[in-house]
Amino acid sequence: MVEELAAQAWFVRIRTSEATPAFIDFAVGKATLQEAIVAILHRPDLELGDEVTSTSQLTAREISSYRLRPDEVRTYGRRIYNAAAGRWIFERGMVD
């Protein structure tokens, strides 16, 4: 059985509006950027005030490498700013 991959997909980075800011990265198998953003904004881990900070269209090679299916929304972790350490820390707990 051949796995169907998304024909088009997007990488979208969201900055949360929490007291401690965080970035969440998503790969989304949608035809348009608008469809990708809508698919992300309905997720329960995001809140009103969170914002898209960057987007890019994935190449066919990236889609194949990620094995991203049509309509799939996949998180790639959450980075939180640690003021005490003065740097961003990657948190793997959110990966689907």
- Could you report the per-residue pLDDT of 3-58, keeping only the tens digit for each? 799 999 999 999 988 777 788 899 999 999 999 999 998 888 888 889 999 999 99
- Could you report the per-residue pLDDT of 78-90, keeping only the tens digit for each? 777 776 777 767 6
pTM of the model: 0.79
Q: Is 65 left (phi over 0), alpha (psi -120 to 50) or beta?
A: alpha
- DSSP state letter for 47: -
Whether 43 contacts 73, CB under 8 Å:
yes
